[in-house]
Every structure is written in structure tokens, then in C-alpha cells.
């Protein structure tokens, strides 16, 4: 049965029905739909628009529908147009005439705007909790690896030595920003559209602020046309999820590299790796690759919803029904990736010796060697040139800066003394980097303490 049959003389054809229907995906928010309706009738009764007895019958009916859906005794009818019509029809068939009053002073336009907000609000909380768990896992790695040396890269070329704690600290910062983006969105979206009607409010004396407070919104929306046609918060959420995925994807890319035969910096747990059907030696980082791959899907959702919205005149248009599947998919994908990535990270082993050896090769101490000369009065630009020649000299001989004899150093410049070896040792290079934000374990420890406090707050 259609909610709007009165004006129509022909039955729709089956394909049109199917094309138009959203029940296959909007049944996801049956609970939000029912809770919104309960708040709505509570407000209608308080305003004297419904009687107390009507309110009681409707609320009891809706509560029964909710518990029957959850208990599996009421199946959502796949032939219904959408979840709103399904719940209303179920209510009318259970309680009769009182049920027909549920939709007083309401449209599906403000109803769907409400349901989606209620659903998304919970999902933002769930996403935030998952990012927090990931941060906790990253922080454990930081705390345990303040002195685990590794090469830092620029252009994927070894640059200067850092620590695992410092490298992971960069990701900690990214995921912190992700949490703050989620919290901004949640704050901004927390206004209640119910009572906006189809687009122009209603003639009933609704108390919209009351409905808003029943549903834990900060307030009611201010403009009824905007209320039914605003999907900004979904765009913002897709943007925030796209950014989370971008961070996970960069992290995945590094883990894939580090886990490769060439790097061997880390080893993924068997539980988070897969084998090959043909090559017996393989242990592939499929989870990290899938996270990297699924990033494209979440970007797709963002592009898709932006494109859907760009040409829409005010107020509601059916195009907006397209917001659901893609936002749901992006939420499911991002949540799944966060959970799996966290598990993968928590079980990943670091090959500390290999990382350290790698940090010692590749002239990651060349800047420190130049700084040594600067401390002995040589201008930095000249020092840069001198060390550049030293590097060439070493490359020719297949040795590192630490392996040159003092005579060889002095032959290139007499200011070199035997303290050069200490000055360019891996330990010194890392420990002396103590500016705010640098990898030196003394500063990084303080940073990590700050991170711990943030997570516990
Ligand atoms: N299924 C619709 C949606 O998701 C609900 C709103 C229907 N409103 C309407 N005027 N047809 O947008």
C-alpha cells in the first residue's frame, strides 16, 4: 500500500516501484525512524494536537514494532517503498485509527532528514571510538620504541636517522586531527530538522525545540527549506572519512614496503597475511593492500555526493535519496578498515636490528657531519660541499663515513679530529635532535607523555 495513493489513478509499474524504492537500504535506520516518531508524537500530545490516549497507543505500537523487528518476529517487507511507509503501515495494521495520526505535522522529507542525522550521529561516535583504539595502538608502539632507530626518508631516499616512535608519532598526529574533524562535524550537524515539514513548516503549533531536546539535539534547525535539503554534514563526513582512509592508505603503503623482502623492517603476523596459490614462499600483506585499495571507494562516495548535490534546486529532490547507499558504504568501509588496520598494527613485529643497520647505511649522518664542521667555524654552505666530497670518496670505496680513517678525514680538511666519530654516530645523531617535535628520545618521551594524557582525558 502506498502512502500517497489518493491522487493516483494508475498502478505504478513494477520497474518504477523498484527504481523508486529505498527500503532495501533505508531499513538500516528502522530504530532511528521509530525513535524519531516516538519523539514526534510525544511532542504532538504535549501540544494538545494528539490526545494522551492516542499518544499512548501510538508509542506502545511503535515500541512493539521495534522490539518485534529486533527480536526477529517482524520482518521488514521488501515490497514496501521505504522504511517510513513500512513502519507507518505496520502501526496502522496493529493499532488502527490512532496510527493514522502519526504523520500529523510531518513529511517524509523532514523525517528522512532526521533519521539520517540520528543514524549518522551514532556512526560518528562509532568511527571516533575506532580511531581512538587505533591511536592507543600507535601510542604503545611509540612508548616501546623511543630508541628504536630507523632511517627517515624524503623522496623515498634515506635522509636522516629517526626513531620508530617519531615515525609513528607522525601518524598519531594525523589520527588526532581525524578525531577532531569528526567531533567538529558532530557538533555542527547536531540540530533537529523534524517539524520542517515538506519544506515550509506546518500550521500545527509544534514545539520543535521540545522534539529536539527529546532526541538529544542541541536545538532545532532554523530554516525549514534548509532542514530538508541540507546534506552538508554527509559531505563533511565523507571528507573526514576520505582523510582517515588517506592516512590509513599512506600507513599501509609504508607497511607494505617495510614488510617487503628488500626492507624487512617489519613482519606482519600470519593472521594478517595471506599466501599465494602458486608460490609457496609467499606471505602477502593483503590487509594493508586492501585498506589502500578501499580508499578509492571512500573517495568515490565523496565525489559522488558532491556531484549529486551540485545542481539541486531547493528544497527536497528525490536525487537526495542517493545519499544513503554511498554514505553507508563509506561508513562500513572506513570502520572495517580502521578495525583491521588496528589489529594488524598491534600484532606487527619490528626487526629492530635491520632498521638500525639500514639507518647506519646511506649517509644518514651526512648532515650531522656538516654540522660538525659548522661547529668548528666553517660556514654551512662550505661544510655542505666538503661533506659532499667525502660522500663521493666513500661511495668510490664502498664504505660509510664512520669507516674512514682520521688520516683520510684530515686529508680532506684538517679541522677534523677524532671526536668526529662520536659526532656522527647514529646514537648522537638521534639524541641530539632535541628541538620541539624532533626524534631525540628525551623530547619524544615528553611528547608521548602528552599523547597518553590526551587519550586518557
Ligand atoms: N526515501 C526517501 C529519501 O531517502 C524519503 C523521502 C521521500 N520524500 C519524498 N518526497 N518522496 O530521500
Instruction: End-to-end CA distance of the chain: give it in Å, rounded.
Output: 52
Q: Phi and psi of 192, rounded to 5°? A: -95, 120
From 26, 32, 108, 324, the mutation candidate for ligand 1 (largest count of ligand atoms within 8 A of CB) is: 108
Burial label, 393 (beta-carbon count in 10 A; 0-12, 13-18, 19+)? middle
Per-residue confidence (pLDDT) for residue 257, from 0 to 100: 97
Residues forming the active site: 155, 276
d(CA 29, CA 25): 9
316: Cβ below 6 Å to ligand 1?
Answer: yes
Atom of ligand 1 nearest to the CA of 82: 1
CA of 45 to the centre of ligand 1 (A): 26
Q: Which of 158, 139, 140, 138 is nearest to 150 (CA)?
A: 158
DSSP assignment letter at 50 = S
What per-residue confidence (pLDDT) applies to 1? 61
pLDDT at 8: 75
pTM greater than 0.85 (yes/no): yes
Residue 321 beta carbon below 6 angstroms from any ligand 1 atom = yes
Q: What is the pLDDT along the chain (457 residues), one digit of tens a residue?
A: 677 777 777 776 889 999 999 999 999 999 999 999 999 999 999 999 999 999 999 999 999 999 999 999 999 999 999 999 999 999 999 999 999 999 999 999 999 999 999 999 999 999 999 999 999 999 999 999 999 999 999 999 999 999 999 999 999 999 999 999 999 999 999 999 999 999 999 999 999 999 999 999 999 999 999 999 999 999 999 999 999 999 999 999 999 999 999 999 999 999 998 887 878 787 899 999 999 999 999 999 999 999 999 999 999 999 999 999 999 999 999 999 999 999 999 999 999 999 999 999 999 999 999 999 999 999 999 999 999 999 999 999 999 999 999 999 999 999 999 999 999 999 999 999 999 999 999 999 999 999 999 999 8
Pocket of ligand 1 contains residue 22 by CB under 6 Å: yes
Peptide bond between residue 313 and the one before it cis (omega within 30 degrees of 0): no
Task: Output the CA–CA distances (angstroms, integers) from residue 455 to 122, 123, 321, 356, 421, in the order listed.
Answer: 20, 20, 38, 30, 41
Amino acid at each position: 500500500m502506498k502512502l500517497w495513493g489518493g491522487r493516483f489513478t494508475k498502478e505504478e509499474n513494477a520497474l518504477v516501484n523498484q527504481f523508486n524504492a529505498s527500503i532495501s537500504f533505508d531499513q538500516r535506520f528502522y530504530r532511528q525512524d521509530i525513535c524519531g516518531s516516538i519523539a514526534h508524537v510525544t511532542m504532538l500530545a504535549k501540544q494538545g494536537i494528539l490526545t494522551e490516549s492516542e499518544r499512548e497507543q501510538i508509542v506502545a505500537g511503535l515500541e512493539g514494532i521495534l522490539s518485534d523487528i529486533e527480536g526477529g518476529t517482524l520482518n521488514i517487507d521488501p515490497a514496501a517503498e521505504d522504511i517510513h511507509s513500512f513502519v507507518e503501515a505496520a502501526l496502522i495494521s496493529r493499532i488502527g485509527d490512532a496510527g493514522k495520526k502519526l504523520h500529523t505535522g510531518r513529511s517524509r522529507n523532514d523525517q528522512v532528514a532526521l533519521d539520517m542525522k540520528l543514524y549518522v550521529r551514532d556512526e560518528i561516535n562509532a568511527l571516533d571510538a575506532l580511531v581512538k583504539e587505533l591511536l592507543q595502538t600507535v601510542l604503545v608502539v611509540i612508548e616501546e620504541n623511543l630508541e628504536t632507530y630507523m632511517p627517515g626518508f624524503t623522496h623515498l631516499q634515506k635522509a636522516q636517522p629517526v626513531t620508530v616512535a617519531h615515525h609513528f608519532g607522525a601518524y598519531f598526529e594525523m589520527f588526532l586531527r581525524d578525531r577532531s574533524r569528526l567531533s567538529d562535524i558532530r557538533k555542527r550537524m547536531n540540530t533537529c530538522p523534524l517539524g520542517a515539514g515538506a519544506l515550509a513548516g506546518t500550521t500545527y503549533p509544534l514545539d520543535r525545540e521540545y522534539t529536539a531536546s527529546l532526541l538529544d539535539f542541541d536545538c532545532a534547525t532554523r530554516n525549514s527549506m534548509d532542514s530538508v535539503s541540507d546534506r552538508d554534514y554527509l559531505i563533511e563526513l565523507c571528507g573526514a572519512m576520505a582523510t582517515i582512509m588517506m592516512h590509513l592508505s599512506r600507513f599501509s603503503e609504508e607497511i607494505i614496503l617495510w614488510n617487503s623482502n628488500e626492507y624487512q623492517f617489519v613482519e606482519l603476523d600470519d593472521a594478517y597475511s595471506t599466501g599465494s596459490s602458486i608460490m609457496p614462499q609467499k606471505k602477502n600483506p593483503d590487509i594493508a593492500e586492501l585498506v589502500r585499495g578501499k580508499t578509492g571507494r571512500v573517495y568515490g562516495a565523496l565525489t559522488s555526493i558532491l556531484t549529486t548535490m551540485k545542481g539541486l534546486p531547493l528544497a527536497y529532490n528525490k536525487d537526495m535519496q542517493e545519499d544513503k547507499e554511498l554514505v553507508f558504504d563509506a561508513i562500513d568501509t572506513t570502520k572495517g578498515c580502521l578495525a583491521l588496520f588496528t589489529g594488524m598494527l598491534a600484532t606487527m613485529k619490528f626487526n629492530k636490528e635491520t632498521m638500525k643497520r639500514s639507518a647506519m647505511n646511506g649517509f644518514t649522518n651526512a648532515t650531522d657531519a656538516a654540522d660538525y664542521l659548522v661547529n668548528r667555524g666553517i660556514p654551512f654552505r662550505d661544510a655542505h660541499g666538503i661533506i659532499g666530497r667525502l660522500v663521493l670518496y666513500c661511495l668510490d670505496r664502498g664504505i660509510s663515513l664512520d669507516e674512514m680513517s682520521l688520516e683520510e678525514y684530515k686529508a680532506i680538511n684538517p679541522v677534523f679530529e677524532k671526536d668526529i666519530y662520536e659526532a656522527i654516530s647514529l646514537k648522537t645523531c638521534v639524541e641530539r635532535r632535541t628541538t620541539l617535535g624532533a626524534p631525540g628520545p628525551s623530547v619524544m618521551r615528553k611528547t608521548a607523555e602528552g599523547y597518553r594524557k590526551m587519550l586518557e582525558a
